[in-house]
Each structure stands twice: as structure tokens, then as C-alpha cells.
A and B are shown apart, each in its own frame.
Chain A
Amino acid sequence: MHFLYSITIDPFAQIIAAPDFFLEVLVGGLLTGVMYSLVALGFVLIYKASGVFNFAQGTMVLFAALTFVGLIELKLPIWLAAVLTMAVMTAFAFAVERLVLRPLVNQAEIILFMSTIGIGFVLEGLGQMLWGGDVHTLDIGLPSGPIKLGFITISKFDLVAAVVAGLLVTVLAIFFQRTRIGRALRAVADDHQAALSVGISLKQIWVIVWTTSGLVALVAGIMWGTSLGVQFSLTLVALKALPVLILGGFTSVPGAIVGGLIVGAVEKIGEVFWGPALGGAIEDWLAYMLALVFLLFRPQGLFGERIIERV
């Protein structure tokens, strides 16, 4: 009885008793969600253009952050470190296209998926061999500390992260909608063969999307690295991006953002108000359970393309 009370009535009573605290938790959750979206964006870009579910995205985030931090620790100026890291991620994109994707053209989704796990292993070993396995602190002068907005208190850094994510999505949206390459990317996403037949080079497109998602990984890596420190556990953050993808749909950029917000908010509210009754750390699985239940009702996600099957 007590248990039932503590999961059905008590949390709501708490919420009603302290609405400003609830709001604070909610906003905190939404801002964490933005950070998930940053990682999820990289997944969506690659899945849209090549149908590859890139499991190495998390490792790419770690690798980009490690390279960036490593270069800064070599006393390079921040802008130079960023440019060099981008160059490294571009080289990585070329290598992936040449060595992995091209030989695996036309293979089943699961094979491509497994190959990205292989890429993840290589990248992980490489990153730690080059830059060491210690925790690096990353400080590029982003503001931190609390700020009072109206009657709730939030962290300045989270606000910056939200602004960065917003900018990134806007830039990507413009890139996809308004540029020649963006149109080519959308064409490839719609239909590989049709895109090939009007003269769009698949190889080029793949390099472009992997580079783009490498850059998104760098941004995500900088944000996550600043808040958690650049370390191995960054790859686990990528796992949190998966329920985000399911909620938003694998192929939708706005879906990644909305999904991230939902996951972030639900996770924080669940942990704060329901967590104590259930034994704590329910953050670990709440997002997945949410995604699982959600899938039962809407298999394609919020904004995903409708799944149509033909025999």
C-alpha cells in the first residue's frame, strides 16, 4: 500500500506543493535533453543519407573531444585546435567511406550497423592511444554558474548549450534546404538509385555526411566534455541518444530535437519525483522504457517517415 501510494499519489502531491521546484526540474531536464539532441543529430544525418545506423557516433564524440583537448593541451590556440580537429574528422570521414562503406555497398542494414561498431572499437583504441586514457578537463571559457530567470534558477552553461544546439539545427536546416549539396543529400536519402541516375555521386555524399556528423560530434564533444570532462564515459551518452532517435524518428532533424527534449524532461522528472520510491537511478532505463511504450503506438516515431511495406 505504501509503495503504491509513493508512486501514484505522492509525486503529484509534491509537484502541486512546490510548482516552482517542478518547473526548475523540468527546465533542467529540457536543457539536458538539448545535449542529447546534439548527439542524436549526428545519428540522424548519417542515417538519412546512407541508411547506416552509425553506432560509432558516441565514439566519434569522444574522439573529437579527445583530439580537441589534446591539441589545446599542446598549447595551441582554441581556434587552431578546432580547425585541426575538423581536419582530422574530415580525414576520418574519407577513411570510413573508402575503407568501410564502399566495400560494403548493398549489404544488409545489420551488417553495416555491425561494421560501425567495429569502427567504434578502432576509434576508441586510436583515441586513447594518441591522447591517453585519463580524464581531461575542457575549459574553453564557456560561462558557468547559476543564473536566475524569473523565479527559477538554471545553469548558464545549459543555456549556452541550448543556444548552440539551436544554432546548429538552424545551420543544418539551411544547409539541407537551401544549398545544392543539401538538395543532393535529400535526394540520396529519398532514393539511392534515383539519385545515382540523375548524376549525384554517392561516394561524395557519404564523405560529406560523415564529415558533417563528425563536426556535429565535435560540437557535442565540446559541450559534453565541458560538463562531464573528456573521458571514456562520453560514449555512454551516445546510448542515451538512441531513445531520442526512436521518439523523434530516425530520419528527422527536428525529431531529434523534440525527442531529446522529451527524453531529457521525462528522465529528470522521473528521477526526482519517482526515483526515490523505485530505488533510485531509474534514469538508466526510463528513456528506453518510454521509447519502447511509444513504439507500440507509433512505430515510426514522432516525425519519422511512415513505414509502408510492399510485397
Chain B
Amino acid sequence: MLYREAGQFKTSYAADQAIFPILQDRLALVVLLAAAFIGVPLAANEYWLSTIFVPFLCYALAALGLNLLTGYAGQVSLGTGGFMAVGAFSAYKLATAFPGLHIVLVLLIAGLIAAAVGILFGIPSLRIKGLYLAVATLAAQFFLIWLFNRVPWFTNYSSSGVISAPPRAVFGHIFVTGPEAQPVGKYLFALTVVALLALAAKNMARSATGRAWMAIRDMDIAAEIIGIRPLSTKLLAFALSSFYIGIAGALWAFVYTGSVEPLAFDIDRSFQILFMVIIGGLGSILGAFLGAAFIVLLPILLINVPSLVGLNINVTTVTNLQFIIFGSLIVFFLIAEPNGLARLWQIGKEKLRQWPFPY
């Protein structure tokens, strides 16, 4: 009854091409953004901001990047962790080599470097696809992590191999990285970056670029026949995806943890982000956020449930149980809704449109 587009007429091309053509969706988005930008900083305490919201934003951005590649362009990648590491370490090198460089520029250039590396490792996708490609991208994962572990130049010859983000501020005095940064500032900075990049991704996905990706995904030979160049389309997907993932890695190192070692971006991270994309929904911007929220919140929930219910189980059992429940939930979700949480949301909206008089 509330969610219905009856009476909303589109009278201009601009209105027809709007991202959210339905008024209720636009209102919901405004409310959501207001809650994220104003509500969360006011309501959440420092612990929540720095251990749940900021990592959620980093994960969501990485999942968004992987979703462009895997969900839209159909190229499965297991090298996400490696590309995140490229972003993190190039941001570190940039920030330490050029102390005057603004943090936003640092992030952008780090993203561009990650994009270049992504193109390099995307070249095999022109010959191979599917699971063969997935295994080939593991080469990127293992090689890049090895590189950052073994070449001391990347860590500025730090003996422990750990990099620490130098302090940087926006608008002159609001520190977003370094020891003086407040969780609220970090959160708002990460949120702004993620929101802008998500908007760009949404527009990319619904423009000619995104349509070319989807054509390649659905059947690459047919796409080639209708005039889409596989070379440039696939490599563009790799480049943009790595750009997003690189920035996510840089945010991870600079804003979330503050100091990071290459091991933080190992193969498990790649799988974790792939899970987010699949559980959230392949080929959906919203899905990346839902998947990230799910994967971030689930372990926290699983850790806290036993103590909330009053059960007293020892820690190792809880960890093992966590593995079992996590694995079962993944299988359950894949069986129940292979198209992910985003699809559930869509079904919910369809139902809402007909409520209370479904035909």
C-alpha cells in the first residue's frame, strides 16, 4: 500500500533514467544515508565504529570491486587479497615518499597502481575462463603477498615487515589516519569514499560499460559477434575492479587497522570477499553491502550467542562450532537462494508492491 509507483509519471528523459525511479526508493535512500552519516556517528560508541562499521565499509568496498569483475563481467578471481595488498602497500609508499600528498590523492593513485597490476594479471582471462581463470588468479595472490613479504623496499626496510599508516588529515585538521585520528573521523571519511565509489559503480553497471560486461558474462562469443571487444572489456573490468579493491586495501591499512602486514591479505581474505559477493548476490551493488554486513556480523553473533543464552562452552569449541555453523550457513544460503540476499530483497519488494491485495 505504501510502496507503489502508481501516479508517479515520468515526464522527462532525466526522470526516466534516474537510478531510483520510484519516489519511495529515493526517500529510503535519503533516510539510509542520513542514518549512516548522522545517526551512526551519534549513536554508536567508539568500539562499534572502529570494530564493526569501519571494517564493514572496507569489506563492502572490496566486495563491490570484486562484484564488478565476478558479478558483472563474469570473471572469477581469487586474487582479491593480493590486489588489496597492492593498494595498501602502494598507498604506504606514496604517503611516506611524498609527505605533502593529500590522503585522497594517495588513495586514488594507490587505486590506479592496483588497477595496473590488475590489468597485468587479467591478461590470461583473454584465453581462459571459469575455474581455470580462478586458479590462474591465485598466481597473483601468492606472488603479490610473497613480493611484499620478501622485498624490504615495500615496507621501507622495517624489520618486522609491518607498515604503519602515517598521520594524515582532511580539511586541514581532522585526522583520518595515524594515532591521533578519532573513530568518528575515520568512519565518516571511509563512508564518504565508499558512498562516492558505490555511486560510480552503480552508474557504470547501468551504462554501456556494464552492459558490455554483462554481455561478456552471459556468452562471450555472442558478445564478440555483436561488436563488443573482449580484450578491452575484460581488461577494463579487471582494471576497475582492482581499482576499487586497491582503494579498499588502502583504507584497510590506513583507516581500519592503522598498521598492517602482508599476511592480513592472504588467501583467506580473498575467499572471505568472494563469499560476500556470492551471499550478497552476484551482479548487484546492494548485494555487495548486504554480503559484507552478513560476513562481518555473523562471526560476532556466533561468538556472543553462547554467552547470551547462558551456555558456558570453552573457546576452542566455540571456534570450531563457528567453522561448522559458518560452513553450513553458506551451503544453506546457496541452496535456499543461489542469487543471494539482494534477490531476497527484490522478492520482498515485489511482495510489498502487491500487499495487502496480492492477486
Contact = CB atoms under 8 A, between A and B. Distances in A.
Contacts of B325: 125
A124 B319 CA distance: 11
Nearest to A121: B327
Contacts of B275: 114, 117
Interface in A77-102: 99-100
A311 B322 contact: no
A129 B321 contact: yes
Contacts of A117: 271, 275, 327, 330
Residue of A119, A128, A285, A289 ringed by the most chain B CB atoms within 10 A: A285
A121 B323 contact: yes
A299 B150 contact: no
Interface of A: 53, 99-100, 103-104, 107-111, 113-115, 117-126, 128-129, 133, 239, 242-243, 245-246, 250, 278-282, 284-285, 288-289, 291-292, 295-296, 299, 309, 311
B146 A242 contact: no
Interface residues of B, number: 49
Given A100-B331, A111-B278, A122 B324 contact: yes
Given A113-B134, A121-B326, A122-B327, 5 more contacts: A111-B278, A119-B327, A242-B138, A289-B143, A295-B127
Contacts of B271: 117
Interface in B107-148: 123-124, 127-128, 130-132, 134-136, 138-139, 142-143, 145-146
The 9 closest A-B pairs by CB, nearest first: A121-B327, A125-B323, A118-B330, A288-B139, A122-B327, A125-B324, A285-B142, A279-B150, A129-B320
B331 A115 contact: yes
Nearest to B224: A311
Interface string B70-100: 1000001000000000000000000000000
B142 A296 contact: no
B161 to A, nearest CB: 12
B263 to A, nearest CB: 12
Nearest to A294: B136
Given A109-B131, A114-B275, A285-B146, A292 B139 contact: yes
B335 A103 contact: yes
A292 B124 contact: yes
Nearest to A242: B135
A311 B136 contact: no
A121 B151 CA distance: 33
Question: At the interface, is chain A mostly helix, strand, loop or mixed?
Answer: helix
Contact of A113 (B131, B149, B321): B131
Contacts of B149: 281
A126 B128 contact: no
B301 interface: no
Contacts of A124: 323, 327
Contacts of B326: 118, 121, 125
B136 A125 contact: no
A287 B280 CA distance: 33
B225 interface: yes
A246 B136 contact: yes
A110 B327 contact: no
Given A117-B271, A121-B323, A107 B338 contact: yes
A114 B274 contact: yes
Contacts of A119: 327, 331
Nearest to A282: B146
A278 B326 CA distance: 39
Interface string B312-344: 000011011111111111110011001000000
B323 A295 contact: no
Contacts of A278: 150
23 contacts: A114-B274, A114-B330, A115-B335, A117-B327, A118-B331, A121-B330, A122-B327, A122-B331, A124-B323, A124-B327, A125-B319, A125-B321, A125-B324, A129-B321, A245-B135, A246-B136, A279-B151, A285-B146, A288-B143, A291-B135, A295-B127, A309-B221, A311-B221
